[in-house]
C-alpha cells in the first residue's frame, strides 16, 4: 500500500488523494462500503487513460488514417474497456449521463 500511496501522490490526482487520505484518517469508516468506493476509484484511475487513448485511436480508425498497428491497439483497447466495464467500471462519459 505504501508504494501505491507514494505513486498516487505523484500523479495529477495528488490533491484529491491527499484530501481523501486526510478524510479517511479522521473518520470512522465501515469496511465494506469503503472497499467498494476505493475499488471504484482505483478502476477509474486505471481506466481513464485507456478511454482517452481509445477515443483518439477511434478518430484515426474512423478517418481511415490508422495503420495496422494502430488498428490492433484500438481493438485491444476496445476489448480492455469492455472487460473493465464488466468488472463494474463505467467511463466518465457514462457517469455524467
Cell readout for 95 is: 457517469
Neighbours of 93 (CB within 10 A): 9
At residue 53, the pLDDT reads 94
The per-residue pLDDT for range 19-62, each reduced to its tens digit, is 888 887 777 778 888 888 888 888 777 778 888 999 999 999 99
Say what the pLDDT of residue 78 is. Answer: 92
Residue 57: phi and psi, rounded to 5, are: -70, -35
Tell me which H or E stretch contains 95.
helix 92-95
State the pLDDT at residue 26: 79
**Residue range 53-96, pLDDT digits in tens:** 999 999 999 999 999 999 999 999 999 888 877 776 665 555 54
All residues at 6 or more sequence positions from 53 whose CB lies less than 8 Å from its CB, including other chains: 73, 77
Amino acid at each position: 500500500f505504501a508504494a501505491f500511496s507514494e505513486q498516487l501522490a505523484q500523479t495529477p490526482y495528488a490533491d484529491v488523494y491527499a484530501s481523501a487520505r486526510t478524510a479517511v484518517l479522521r473518520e470512522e469508516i465501515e469496511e465494506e462500503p469503503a472497499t467498494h468506493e476505493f475499488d471504484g476509484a482505483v478502476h477509474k484511475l486505471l481506466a481513464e487513460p485507456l478511454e482517452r487513448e481509445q477515443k483518439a485511436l477511434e478518430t484515426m480508425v474512423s478517418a481511415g488514417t490508422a495503420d495496422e498497428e494502430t488498428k490492433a491497439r484500438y481493438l485491444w483497447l476496445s476489448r480492455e474497456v469492455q472487460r473493465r466495464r464488466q468488472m463494474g467500471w463505467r467511463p466518465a462519459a457514462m457517469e455524467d449521463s
